[in-house]
Structure 1
Amino acid sequence: MNSRSTSKPRRFIMFHKPKGTIVTLSDEKSRKTVYDILPRFVFEDRWIPVGRLDRDSRGLLLFTREGGLSDLLTQPGKFSKFYEVWIRGRITEEQLQQTLQGVKTSIDVLKFKGIQILGYAGPKTRLMVELKEGKNRHIRRAFGALQDPQSQTPLKVLDLKRVQIGFVKLDIPSSNWRFLTHEEENALINGTSRPKRRGRKTRR
């Protein structure tokens, strides 16, 4: 079946953005963009990204052809977004609380909606971070403003992966894409109901 053939047009595409790619139509430095990986119709039919992920980040990225929907979903505080983060260093309980109350940087104050330690690997810490409203390089700058109590150096983000937006969870391999189900679309647009879990086709 043609992936673009459906009785009811799909309004969103999920893409698992790999690290090292730029979220833009073209790059003046000839760096690899997400459109170099996605099928040609995404570019030709003018599917636009809903929000951004920086070059060094990976994970869940949504696309739509409707500018109004993109604006709706990127409104501050519209949805929680969840990120799996590896940092170099050990974060203290006091610092965990500080990220919820506000971390002062050289230019602003950054806070997380939620944070949870998932585990450790040597000097590295794995965390789940929830943002309700994100600023430019929000997570990286917040951790960078905190000190590792052992090394007395700034905590450094080693890997950042967005795994969920609202009720929509990333469930496809890196560089793959799929259309959202109608249930997922409704959950995003209405912001209320949880989508049902069903089998989905993954496309490279």
Structure 2
Amino acid sequence: MRLDKYLTECGIGSRKEVKKIIDSGAVSVNEKTVSSPKENVNEEKDIVKYNEKIIKYKKFRYYILNKISGYITAVDDPREKTVMDILPDWVIKKDLAPVGRLDKDTEGLLLLTNDGQLNHRLLSPKSHVDKTYYAELEKDISEDDLEKLRKGVDIGGYITMPAEAKKIEEKKIHLTIKEGKFHQVKKMLEAVNNKVVYLKRISFGKLELKEMELGEVKEVEIGDIE
């Protein structure tokens, strides 16, 4: 692979920007400064450094973010702050996109990747990926209402699939759903005459938020997801 393509694929910059970086003498291959963008690089064996920092090549990258409330789930938006604004500089943002969405006022686990096929596969209606939410409610919830959530409720012409619903303590529940309908958790609680006042996704498939701080980002591998 050409060096300029390698660096571009690693998210260092556009092909034009990368050529300027190489010209500046900031890039080395196997401890030797390289001045030609045409230099051939073995992405599996060669050690490429930019400003003395090793740049590892990965065709696909996967990150989990503990989303902060107030950010929309989008790559860019002319008016709103997006989840991309939360990501630190070390994250390789080239072709990166969120998998699914979390509402602007919802916190919690969001997967981002440049692996378009995985993104499509996880969001396919056939996949039924479990998504678990921690919800704080306007009022306490009865066992009867929890049982309704488990069996499925009407959220406006659509009956939700069976879900897992567990009361943690007064006005607090864990709800695991398999779909990703617009405002689904909020609508499900409205269907049993309640209201979500705080919502946080704590797991997505095999991925778990655990002790991640708000706004924290962690790189994961494909084996952690599938």
Which TM-score band (shorter chain)? 0.7 to 0.9
| Equivalence for 1:126 | 172
In the alignment, residue 80 of structure 2 is paired with which amino acid?
R
CA distance in 1, matches of 2:93, 2:206: 29
| Equivalence for 2:204 | 165
| Equivalence for 1:186 | 223
Partner of 1:134, secondary structure, is: coil
In the superposition, the TM-score normalised over structure 2's length comes to 0.69
Over 3 Å counting, the alpha-carbon distance change for 1:4 and 1:86 in structure 2 is farther
Query: Pick from 155, 166, 179: which aligns with 1:105?
Result: 155
- The answer for unaligned runs of 5 or more in structure 1 is 148-154, 190-204
Partner of 2:84, secondary structure, is: helix
- Give yes or no for the alignment of 1:144 onto 2:210: no
- Give yes or no for the alignment of 1:12 onto 2:12: no
CA contact (8 A) 2:60 2:114 kept: no
Over 3 Å counting, the alpha-carbon distance change for 1:112 and 1:78 in structure 2 is closer
Indicate the larger mover: 71-80 or 91-100: 71-80
Q: State the Cα distance separating 1:67 from its structure 2 match.
A: 0.7
Moved over 4 A (4+): 1-4, 7-10, 40-44
- Give yes or no for the alignment of 1:60 onto 2:106: no
- The answer for unaligned runs of 5 or more in structure 2 is 1-48
In the alignment, residue 192 of structure 2 is paired with which amino acid?
L
CA contact (8 A) 2:75 2:98 kept: no
Cα distance per residue 1:21-80 (max 9 Å; x no partner)? 01112223x221111121357575121111110101110001111111101111234421
Q: Alpha carbon RMSD of aligned pairs, Å?
A: 2.4
CA distance in 2, matches of 1:65, 1:101: 36
* Higher RCO (C-alpha 8 Å, min separation 6): 1
| Equivalence for 2:131 | 81
